[in-house]
Amino acid sequence: MKSIKAIVVGSVFIIVAILLLQLLYIFVAVGYNALAKDFPFLNDIAGSFRYIVGIPIFVATMFVGGYITANIADVETSIKVWLHCIAVGLITAGGMIYPTLETAEITTTGIVIFILSLLATTAGGWYWQKDNGLSQA
């Protein structure tokens, strides 16, 4: 039961945090577009803005979700911690990518984001493990 709770809480945290961050991004993008009307050079960097800001925030959110998952699971071995964190990464990243596959094909960016999400959640679990002196077996 503790394992399921850890996976659910980690997944819900990531989903809610990502949705709130997307809402914040919309507000920032509206302000950015209004600012770009007065400063046309900002239009040149608009495309890369979402990657420069968005990907690190996304990875940090996934990392924290992995940390929370490992903390709640509180299991004995690193393999179990990683399995919990990978499950959360698969659920959340898969849940974000799956709906887009109905209308588009998966892109290189989508694959990179998927891999980054798995690595970030696992790294969060590994960091929790390191913080708590858990065995590496």
The continuous run of DSSP H or E covering 79 comes out as helix 78-97
Q: Residue-wise pLDDT tens for the chain (137 aa)?
A: 788 999 999 999 999 999 999 899 888 888 877 887 888 777 777 777 778 888 899 999 999 999 999 999 878 778 888 899 999 999 999 988 888 888 888 888 888 989 999 999 999 999 998 887 765 54
φ/ψ region of 133 (left if φ > 0, alpha if ψ in -120 to 50, else beta) reads: left
Question: Dihedral angle at the C-alpha atoms of 65, 70, 71, 77, nearest 10 degrees?
Answer: -170
